[in-house]
């Protein structure tokens, strides 16, 4: 849930405030009702409407104890602007001022005066003029709230970096100081050997139960007697359980695991972990997805965490593999790091996993285990990534649509890897030139506005390719 605190503002003269109070309260209730109707927002109204300096301070301080994701400044009249400025100066969450359309009262003027006073002293405050019941107004407010929720929830989170930089990919390395400075996120390192140590301690009965669940739910498991056997799949299950235990013990909010090489070369790949952690289920039942970035791509993991928080959906991780000019699609795939939820986007595991096949890993890897193969279901998708030059971050975003192709098309790339065939809303050549990584991340639906707003709130550059 997105937690919102609302402060309402009025005229500084008691006799005038008394006449305006019912209208101001009515507007607050309208906003609260419209936002809570979404099912993802909780709104807490301040106990008193602010009509003097003392209330501006006391009511603003009272909101801090609730640790809201966002603060709405309800300004439906010409409230004294310094009240909003005082209140905004005390907030730790992003602020949004809003005024309804009403020519009989100067709410628009009050909105402009208050936000200008806040901006003049170097503080941030977005503004929306419009009736909350109107679709366009509600959409703008919800985009802000999703972005603000992401900004607030990221603060104090801890990323578990398990292993180091994978196969020389410099764009995946974490800049821990820049993360804390820009996003409020800490990075904590653990060696990959800890996965192996804990894997050896996993109860055999739990492994057998997990294997039975996979055997029942998956579309197929293609054992080959070499790379993929019941024993190697059990080892991948053990690694998943070991990593789950590690995350719970260290209180990691999201993780990246190196895998290549070391684990993929001498033990088992971590493909099963990469898929299941990003899923909203496993053999223990429904769960919240935990962002898990393949190849310890740390900026990729941070991108996925931002996308997950903005959308409340599993986030994707895949590679630029190929552009098919004849079909008009980018082929995005990866050795096994795609959430299986995207196979069907069903709320029930069976609706997704019956479209998934576990294949033996390719001979490129010296180890054992499975790849988690499927083709992403058709639908709109928001794609992009954080990149940086030094410690200066930028987010590049673009829109696309997953398109369906028969499995025969996988022979053009890799028949055993998960794929997303994406028609993009940008010139393909421009995307190749302007996109700063081999990895790309995504979430279902159109979340561009919220992600752009997130970047504005964090004061980092954002480019939407279109």
Does the pLDDT at position 335 exceed 90?
no
Does the pLDDT at position 149 exceed 80?
yes
Does the pLDDT at position 336 exceed 90?
no
Find the mean pLDDT for residues 213-224: 98
Q: Are 24 and 62 in contact (CB under 8 A)?
A: no
Mean pLDDT, the chain, rounded, equals 97
What's the pLDDT tens digit per position in 84-112? 999 999 999 999 999 999 999 999 999 99
pTM of the complete model: 0.97
Q: Are 380 and 446 in contact (CB under 8 A)?
A: yes
Find the mean pLDDT for residues 10-34: 98
The pairing of strands 316-324 and 439-444 is antiparallel
| Distance (Å, whole) CA 441 – CA 465 | 15
List the end-to-end C-alpha distance of the chain, in Å, as a whole number. 31
Nearest to 376 by CA among 344, 409, 398, 423: 344
| Distance (Å, whole) CA 53 – CA 294 | 52
| Distance (Å, whole) CA 59 – CA 19 | 21
- Give 285's strand partners: 282
Does the pLDDT at position 465 exceed 90?
yes
Nearest to 62 by CA among 81, 49, 75, 74: 49
For 178, the 3-state DSSP assignment is: helix
| Distance (Å, whole) CA 453 – CA 178 | 20
| Distance (Å, whole) CA 6 – CA 54 | 17
Q: Residue 337: its pLDDT value, please? A: 74
CA angle 127, 132, 138 (to 5 degrees): 75
Give residue 211's pLDDT band: very low, low, confident or very high (50, 70, 90). Answer: very high
Around 349, how many Cα atoms within 13 Å sit in the side-chain half-sphere? 19
Q: Are 70 and 95 in contact (CB under 8 A)?
A: yes
What's the pLDDT tens digit per position in 165-204? 999 999 999 999 999 999 999 999 999 999 999 999 999 9
Give residue 124's pLDDT band: very low, low, confident or very high (50, 70, 90). Answer: very high
Does the pLDDT at position 418 exceed 80?
yes
Around 439, how many Cα atoms within 13 Å sit in the side-chain half-sphere? 29
Q: Are 129 and 108 in contact (CB under 8 A)?
A: yes
Q: Residue 429: its pLDDT value, please? A: 97
Helix (H) or strand (E) holding 462, with range, is strand 461-465
Find the mean pLDDT for residues 286-310: 97
For 158, the 3-state DSSP assignment is: strand
| Distance (Å, whole) CA 115 – CA 106 | 14
Nearest to 179 by CA among 245, 125, 91, 253: 253
| Distance (Å, whole) CA 447 – CA 311 | 7
What's the pLDDT tens digit per position in 448-459? 999 999 999 999
Find the mean pLDDT for residues 21-48: 98
Q: Token pair 């996979």 is at which residue?
A: 214
DSSP states of 407-439: GGGGGGS-TTS-EEEEEESS-HHHHHHH---SE
Helix (H) or strand (E) holding 238, with range, is helix 230-250
Q: Residue 38: its pLDDT value, please? A: 96
| Distance (Å, whole) CA 279 – CA 102 | 46
Enter the tokens of residue 459.
Answer: 């004061």
């Amino acid at each position: 849930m997105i937690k919102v605190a609302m402060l309402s503002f009025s005229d500084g003269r008691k006799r005038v405030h008394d006449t305006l109070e019912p209208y101001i309260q009515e507007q607050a209730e309208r906003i609260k009702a419209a936002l809570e109707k979404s099912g993802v927002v909780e709104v807490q109204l301040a106990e008193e409407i602010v009509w003097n300096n003392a209330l501006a301070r006391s009511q603003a301080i009272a909101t801090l104890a609730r640790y809201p994701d966002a603060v709405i400044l309800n300004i439906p009249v010409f409230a004294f602007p310094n009240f909003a400025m005082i209140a905004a100066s005390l907030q730790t969450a992003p602020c949004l001022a809003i005024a309804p359309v009403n020519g009989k009262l100067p709410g628009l003027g009050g909105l402009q005066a208050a936000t200008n006073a806040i901006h003049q002293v170097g503080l941030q405050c977005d503004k929306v003029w419009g009736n909350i019941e109107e679709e366009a107004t509600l959409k703008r407010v919800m985009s802000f709230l999703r972005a603000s929720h992401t900004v607030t929830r990221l603060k104090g989170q801890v990323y578990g970096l398990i292993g180091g930089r994978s196969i020389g990919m410099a764009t995946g390395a974490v800049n821990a100081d820049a993360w804390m400075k820009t996003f409020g996120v800490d990075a904590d390192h653990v060696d990959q050997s800890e996965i192996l140590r804990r894997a050896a301690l996993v109860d055999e009965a739990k492994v057998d139960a997990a294997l039975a669940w996979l055997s029942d739910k998956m579309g197929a498991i293609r054992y080959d007697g070499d790379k993929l056997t019941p024993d190697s799949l059990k080892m991948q299950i053990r690694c998943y359980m070991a990593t789950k235990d590690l995350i719970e013990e260290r209180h990691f909010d999201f993780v990246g695991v190196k895998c290549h090489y070391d684990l993929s070369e001498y033990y088992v790949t971590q493909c099963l972990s990469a898929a299941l952690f990003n899923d909203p289920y496993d053999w223990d039942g429904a769960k919240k997805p935990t962002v898990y970035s393949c190849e310890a791509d740390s900026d990729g993991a941070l991108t996925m965490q931002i996308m997950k928080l903005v959308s409340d959906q599993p986030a994707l991780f895949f590679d630029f593999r190929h552009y098919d000019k004849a079909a008009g699609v980018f082929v995005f795939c990866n050795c096994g790091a795609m959430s299986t939820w995207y196979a069907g986007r069903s709320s029930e595991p069976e609706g997704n996993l019956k479209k998934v096949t576990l294949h033996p890993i390719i001979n490129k890897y010296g180890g054992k285990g499975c790849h988690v193969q499927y083709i992403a279901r058709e639908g709109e998708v928001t794609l992009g990534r954080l990149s940086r030059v030094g410690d200066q971050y930028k987010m590049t975003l673009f829109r696309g649509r997953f398109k369906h192709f028969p499995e025969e098309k996988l022979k053009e790339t890799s028949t055993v890897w998960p794929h997303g065939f994406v028609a993009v809303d940008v010139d393909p050549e421009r995307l190749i030139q302007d996109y700063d990584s081999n990895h790309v991340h995504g979430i279902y639906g159109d979340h561009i506005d919220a992600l752009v707003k997130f970047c504005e709130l964090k004061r980092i550059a954002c480019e939407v390719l279109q």
